[in-house]
Amino acid sequence: MVDFQLSEEHQDLSDTVRAFADEVVAPVSAKHDEEHSFPYEIVAQMGEMGLFGLPIPEEYGGMGGDYFALALALEQLGRVDQSVAITLEAGVSLGEMPIYRFGSDAQKEALLPDLAAGKALGGFGLTEPGGGSDAGGTATTARLDTAGDGPGEWVINGSKEFITNSGTDITTFVTVTAVTGTVTTNAGARPDGSSRKEISTIIVPTGTPGFRAEKAYNKVGWNASDTHPLSFKDARVPEENLLGTRGRGYANFLSILDEGRIAIAALATGAAQGCVDLSVKYAKERTAFGTNIGKHQAIQFKIARMQARAHTARLAYYAAAAKMLAGKPFKTEAAIAKLVAGEAAMDNARDATQVFGGYGFINESAVARHYRDSKILEIGEGTTEVQLMLIARELGL
């Protein structure tokens, strides 16, 4: 039979992060949200706890755990503060994992220890004004300049949008996808023998001349998360900053996204569960017409449906993570988990706001933050429509 019970080690981690979220993160969440300030002190404490290093081997300064451990931590953080949770998720999934999965030994040794300790953050620049999920829309270019006697340099030009963790005081690099040439497709793939863009990934250190994180976005939600557009104007980095094999940049990033969707699903599950917990507490305390509103069947049924959504979302990301850790294909399961959990978070946030009434429409309240924060869970790291497309494709449609 399938066993969804957590191991003792995983349960201890979940309990520890839950306590940290409730006792340390939650009390300052409203302040950071209102001020649109990055929670450096929280990030430092998460680094000390080893959360940024959970799936990274000990030889690179990590905890030597698995990706499911990261997902459990994200669920607990997502209950109380999605901005903090996405900072951890993007720091690991988009900052560290491309280096760990595809980096050279020298790149891993140079970058991973500080990332795993939470002393540094890395971003991943994929989305552009004219393209995100569409690789063909990539317009940023990287030209290899081998002129002169020294080693070659990549000369990067273009722009990126919506890049998380790209402009903090501890951001040390951004890995960007860029067109590095063209590849003629074989006749079997395209009968006309047409060419396609060769897309590679290149590490661009913060402070590189010509590379700039532009003014941060004024977002609807995730106000304490760092998000910037990026610009590159003849930004030069060493040839050795190529990450992985030339021409495999987009394909490699898609595999990173598959893992990341499990992490985002865990975060969204936490958000959905947080809305349940807040609603249960409020329903027991709030009185109307001489009784607690939680005694009214209409409120009971609304919260019961919310709990069913959170439970279903949790099972979905557990199942996807189990296949991933077993080394089996998990792309479809990750898409299902992202789809189900993202919608659960948004639906639960809407219903929780209804339970709270006017108090749910006050920005300082945790319910209002979840309502503003949760919409991006149906957009970021693959929209709902992209997940549906992936699922349908697996069905042969």
What is the pLDDT of the chain when averaged over all its residues?
94
Q: What is the CA radius of gyration of the chain?
A: 22
Active site residue 75: no
* pLDDT above 80 for 59: yes
Domain boundaries, the chain: 8-119, 122-247, 251-394
pLDDT digits (tens, 9 = 90+) for 99-142: 999 999 999 999 999 999 999 999 999 999 887 667 678 999 99
Work out the angle at residue 230's Cα, subtended by the Cα atoms of residues 338 and 100, and round it to the nearest 5 degrees. 55
pLDDT at res. 335: 97
Of 297, 187, 306, 180, which Cα lies nearest the Cα of 243? 180
Q: Give the separation between CA 28 and CA 35, rounded to whole angstroms.
A: 11
**Residue in 89, 128, 153, 381 annotated catalytic:** 381
pLDDT at res. 184: 77
CATH topology for 251-394 is: Butyryl-CoA Dehydrogenase, subunit A; domain 3 (1.20.140)
Burial group, residue 126, by CB count within 10 angstroms (0-12, 13-18, 19+): buried
Select from 2.30.30.100, 2.40.110.10, 2.60.120.10, 2.60.40.2480 the CATH code of 122-247: 2.40.110.10
The CATH code that applies to domain 8-119 is 1.10.540.10
Write out the H or E segment, with its range, that includes residue 343. helix 331-356
